[in-house]
A and B are shown apart, each in its own frame.
Chain A
Amino acid sequence: MLLQVKPRHIFFALSAFFVAYSVSIYMRPYSIAENINFNKAKAGEGKLVWQKYNCQSCHQLYSLGGYLGPDLTNVISHPGKGELFVKAMIASGTKQMPPFKLSDKELSALLEFLKAADKSGKADLRNFKTDYFGMIEAK
């Protein structure tokens, strides 16, 4: 007798694939670079500071986030910017951004987070090329 496929069979089969795919992403965290010069635990704390002050409301990382301020993925290595620039912007604010009073510990952790972002890759879209399938890859 042929097995009759019912909606619940497809639902559970797809769900099982989804759970397996999710777990595979959790279990094998993508390693961003070898011998990178930043403190992972501190960068993790910096992510909490990024969220505590809701930086994502205006700023982007890899073009994901808010639209009022610039993308900050590579602000640390950007010519003419860097750590001092970030510190000055946070302390003084801009036309739209109010000044923020971060503690030394928070500021240090946030800078570590931005260093981790910077080391992870280049977000500048001019840094990408397309292949025959229409997929984009970093140059």
Chain B
Amino acid sequence: MRISGLHIGKVFLTTAICMLLLALVFGVVSASIYIFPDFLKDNLGFISLRPMHVSAAMFWIILGATGCIYCVLEQGSTDKRIKRTGLIQWVLWVISIIGIMVSYCIKDFGGREYWEFNPIWALPISTAWVLFLINFYRLVKKISTWPVYIWMWLTGVVFFLFTFLENYLWLIPYFREHFITDMTIQWKVNGSLVGSWNQIIYGTAIFLMDRILNNKSTGSSKLAFGLYFLGLFNLMFNWGHHIYTLPTEPYIRYIGYAVSMTEWVFFVKIVMTWRASLSIVQRNYHYFPYRFIMAADIWIFINMGQAILMSIPAINMYTHGTHITVAHAMGTTIGINTMILLAACFTFFNIEEKSKYLNKIFWALQISLVIFWTSLNLAGVKKGIWQLSAHQESYSKMMDSLAPYFVTFGLAGIGLLLTLGTLGIVLLKSTSASTSNV
């Protein structure tokens, strides 16, 4: 294939879907260790499987987000420089992914939580991201007035690079020798990194809604810009809510608390526009990709409500370090990010699926996710009570008592594997046949 005919966005989306499939398989195998503690203990073990699952899931989101930006901005472009740079960016990602997965298999760790691979693999990832920034600039420089989603994408691209590099400050002894400051930076990074890819994915959701509704007003309204800046403000300063129990400077915790409470504005906005949203659902439900946006909206409502409550320190004391935090992370990753990315994939691959079969898969996915999320929350409530009880039984007894919730969570995880896996395979099958309709 000639490079001018290469569709970089679709290349990234296809790779992202492969990562989704890997994340699902690793997730189910990892979850099984909660039920069968000896399973694979002396082989891969949980210490390899957990990062394999987490990294694959993060790469699904990051590569998916990258693919979405290219799919929108690259349309009609035959600029060979952009294609070549995008291709090098993709090759660097593929090299990193292979290296990272191999490093997990041979237990060559060294990084910190969520980025446990040998730090050497951060080099091709950051180089790929610099190339992405260059390509992003080339693609948007000719657009005179930016709709809000381009601002959101710029934010995501710039802040991902900044926080990803900040994530490696521990390589310098000055940082790692200050235990509390190092942990503060770690959770500053984690909060802002998630905020960065959320900016890209929420920006994509706004683009998709404008496209589905054939209306360009959403992405250009003052309200959209107001909410964008509030989101940016939260990306930058709300991360302190992760570390209320860490004995760091009190002002960091108070800033995190105060800024997190501004998220009530998003929540109130969702409630106030609920009725209008219902009529949009009724008008667009027939369009299959829209269903994922509809599902994401409901999961945003649920997860944002949970996040705001968890950001109140007096409540956070009961949820911190429990599976409620996992439920929130999974709820946002699958319920929001994955739903929006699936909507984008079905749109960009031009699949307007009307079969009852896929509709059933869609609803089975939502039911599996509800069971998955609920069982984790219930396990978290039980652990939260244990954490604050005056006479604690041993940790292992407490974990044993959570077994019924872990079994339910494992079964729901298999449900997610089957449903999301089916959707992923449908998308992969369509990639070769699809034509761009963006």
Query: B-contacting residues of A (Cβ < 8 Å)?
Result: 7, 10-11, 14, 17-18, 21-22, 25-26, 28-30, 32, 40-41, 43-44, 47-48, 51-54, 56-58, 60-71, 95-96, 98, 113, 116-117, 120-121, 123, 125-126, 128, 130, 133-136, 138
CB pair A130–B248 under 8 Å, yes or no, is no
Q: In the complex, A26 Cα to B170 Cα: how many Å?
A: 11
What's the Cα separation between A127 and B125 when bound, in Å? 41
B254:A135 contact, CB within 8 angstroms: yes
Most A-side CB within 10 Å, residue of B178, B236, B317: B178
Whether, in the assembled complex, B37 has its beta carbon less than 8 Å from a beta carbon of chain A, the answer is yes
Is B83 located at the chain interface by the 8 A CB criterion? no
Q: Which residues of B contact A (CB under 8 A)?
A: 33-34, 37-38, 41-42, 45-48, 50-51, 107, 109-113, 116, 146, 151, 154-155, 166, 169-170, 173-185, 187-188, 225, 229, 232-233, 236-237, 242-249, 252-254, 257, 312-317, 320-321, 323, 326, 387-388, 390, 395-396, 399
Given A25-B185, A51-B116, CB of A136 within 8 Å of CB of B316:
yes
Instruction: For the complex formed, measure the closest distance between the CB of B55 and the CB atoms of chain A, giving whole angstroms.
Output: 12
B234 CB to closest chain A CB, in angstroms?
11
Q: List 14 A-B contacts (CB under 8 A).
A: A11-B155, A14-B236, A21-B236, A22-B188, A25-B181, A25-B185, A40-B178, A51-B116, A57-B46, A64-B246, A71-B321, A98-B41, A116-B179, A125-B387
Q: Tell me whether A54 and B47 are in contact in the complex, defined as CB-CB below 8 angstroms, given that A60-B321, A130-B317 are known contacts.
A: yes
Among the listed A51, A53, A121, A135, which residue makes an inter-chain contact with B112, where contact means beta carbons less than 8 Å apart?
Answer: A51
CB of B192 to closest CB in A, whole Å:
8
By Cβ-Cβ distance, the 6 closest A-B pairs, closest first, are A63-B321, A29-B178, A121-B247, A44-B177, A29-B181, A18-B236
**CB within 8 Å: A-B pair count:** 170
B69 to chain A, nearest CB (A): 17
Nearest-neighbour CB distance to chain B for A106, whole angstroms, equals 13
Of the candidates B45, B178, B244, the one whose C-beta lies within 8 Å of that of A136 is B244
Q: Are B388 and A120 in contact (CB under 8 A)?
A: no
Residue on B nearest A137 in the bound complex, by CB: B250
For the complex formed, measure the closest distance between the CB of A114 and the CB atoms of chain B, giving whole angstroms. Answer: 10
Residue of A whose beta carbon sits closest to that of B43: A98
In the complex with contacts A54-B116, A123-B245, A128-B245, A40-B47 CB distance below 8 A: no
B50, B109, B244: the one contacting A53 at CB < 8 Å is B109
Taking a contact as CB atoms under 8 Å apart, the answer to whether B316 and A98 are in contact is: no
Would you give the shortest CB distance from A12 to chain B, in whole angstroms? 11
On whether A62 and B183 interact (CB within 8 A), knowing A29-B178, A43-B177, A52-B109, the answer reads: yes
Is the Cβ of B182 less than 8 Å from the Cβ of A21?
Answer: no
13 additional contacts (CB under 8 A) given A120-B179, A125-B387: A11-B232, A29-B174, A43-B179, A54-B47, A61-B183, A68-B34, A71-B321, A95-B37, A117-B179, A120-B247, A126-B388, A128-B317, A134-B257
